Structure 1
């Protein structure tokens, strides 16, 4: 395969992408041309929502073609278009065949949540300092421990689970609402929770959660949202701000007296609206912040 790459301003990304699609590109990708420099810009999007912007101020657009002739023909056709006036063709290069499985695996290293609690892909050795660990491979369901929202939830579980109350487990009965890969529910089990319900609207997520739980040797119950019944000492929901607002009365109704509500998937600019949405039931407060995302918690 051959790659045609171009440098263009943000306002030309969409029209250039459409043109490359029309020229039978196998794929079109957009990345920050200033990535890994002081000028790099962070863009945060939410699954299922429109992108915050079509591209970066300086975007690199790369299109794959089946052969060199097709890539060069696309370049020649683009160069005579008016919309390419502010763009620059970087050239056509051959894409070297690679072991994509090995390459994908190399992008996922063990993740340290705390100094002694790690998320480790199955193809990696456990770090020597890992007293607790979750074996988890990237899959279709959200939640591999690499996203800030997941890491903050895991840190909260680890810190809470490390406390030693006078009676019972500090996490108690746990509900993981929108479980994805099941990583939060599995972490709760690793830190001693004995009754765990992991629920999601996606059947693929439930299958993934069940497999991951079995692989990690923990017991939990995975099911659709109606699986959640009664009150829980710990209610976890790492979703997004919009559904969290809608779910406020439901999630709060599941929190036991003196129980903990833990919410993630919230951008820093969304904190006030989440506080307002939950104010009739609990006083939400920011408990952690990472890379523009926040973790919000409350005690019922």
Structure 2
């Protein structure tokens, strides 16, 4: 296996990636060339939506080829193209044979939610300080604990459970089921997790089984009646549309917890929910906010 490394500005990433694909690259990956420096720029987008910018100001592109000749040919041909302006070839090097599954797994480490509550991939041991942990591997459904919106929801669950019972819980738009599982880990025993995506429902059931917790997972019509805790980590636009439905599920003295909201969208959400509940910002991280309301 041989790796061709390129440096390019944001606007050249797409044409270069397409050209590498045409040159039979086995894979093409793009990283922030300024990662781990003061110039690093996060590109978190809303769950399920594109990132707020198409790429970083300076990107590092890595293309894998099966032979040295193919990698060298790509390194020779690309600089001759008009779209290569502002780009450079950083080099071609041979990659040693590796256990690629293990290498991929090494990129996912335990995620701290609170000092004693962690999300732990199955191939890691829980950190010594973890009193509570969720076993969860990256998969097709959204929600692995790495996104700020997921972490904020789980922090709220953990802190709320320290002072009071979570009661009956609804996780609306459950994705991987991580919020429902988190609620179960903190004592909730009557939990509905619902999603419009059947793959998310299947992932939730599998993840609940892996964590030895009991919950019900299904399509949205499974959500019935009133809940003491209603969690919804989805997009700001559907959250506005769902306002009457979600509020109708919040029991007296119950809590509504919403995420997937950018800081600039706070007032939109307040106005959308004002006929039913008064939302406040309860947490913020990396430009994202958690909004809550109590009936």
Q: 2:264 aligns with which of 269, 294, 297?
A: 269
1:212 alignment partner, SS class: helix
Moved over 4 A (4+): none
Report the 3-state secondary structure (helix = DSSP H, G, I; strand = E; otherwise coil) of the residue aligned with 1:139. Answer: coil
Q: 2 CA distance for matches of 1:299 and 1:42? A: 32
Aligned to 1:76: 76
Q: 3-state DSSP class of the match of 1:162? A: helix
Question: What is aligned with 2:288?
Answer: 293
SS of equivalent to 1:59: strand
CA distance in 2, matches of 1:102, 1:271: 41
Aligned to 2:167: 172
Which position in structure 1 is the counterpart of 2:232? 237
Q: 1:252 to 1:224 in 2, by over 3 A?
A: same
In the other structure, the counterpart of 1:139 is 139
Offset of 1:47 from its aligned partner? Answer: 4.6
Give how far 1:66 is off.
2.1
Q: What does residue 210 of structure 1 align with?
A: 205
CA distance in structure 1 between the partners assigned to 2:167 and 2:113 by the alignment: 21
Structure 1 unaligned blocks of 5 or more? 165-169
Instruction: Count the aligned residue pairs.
Output: 295
Q: Give the stretch that moved more between structures: 10-19 or 225-234.
A: 10-19
1:250 counterpart residue number: 245
CA positional deviation for 1:109? 2.6
CA distance in 1, matches of 2:29, 2:122: 29
Aligned-pair Cα RMSD in Å: 1.8
- In the other structure, the counterpart of 1:198 is 193
Q: C-alpha separation between the residues in 2 aligned to 1:13 and 1:216?
A: 40
Q: Deviations over 1:152-209 (max 9, x none)?
A: 1111111111114xxxxx2111100111121111111122222110111122221221
Superposition TM-score, scaled by structure 1 size: 0.91
What secondary structure does 2:90 align onto?
strand
Does 1:97 pair with 2:97? yes
Could you tell me which residue of structure 2 aligns to residue 163 of structure 1?
163
Distance in 2 separating the partners of 1:43 and 1:118: 23
8 Å contact kept, 2:6–2:91: yes
> 2:39 and 2:125 mapped to 1: Cα distance?
36
1:154 counterpart SS class:
helix
CA distance in 1, matches of 2:134, 2:282: 23
Q: Which residue of 2 aligns with 1:32?
A: 32
Shift, 1:12, TM fit: 1.8
Superposed CA deviations along residues 212-243 of structure 1, whole A, max 9, x for unmatched, are: 22222221111111100111111001112222
SS of equivalent to 2:59: strand
Q: Compare 177-186 and 101-110 and name the one that shifted more.
A: 101-110
The question of 1:22 aligning with 2:17 is answered no
Output aligned runs, 1:45-84, within 5 Å.
45-84=45-84
In the alignment, does 2:107 pair up with 1:111?
Answer: no
Contact 1:13/1:54 (8 A) holds in 2: no
Equivalence for 1:130: 130
Could you give the per-residue CA deviations for residues 219-278 of structure 1, whole angstroms, max 9, x where no partner exists?
Answer: 111111110011111100111222212211211111112210001111222222222222
Q: CA deviation at 1:87?
A: 1.3
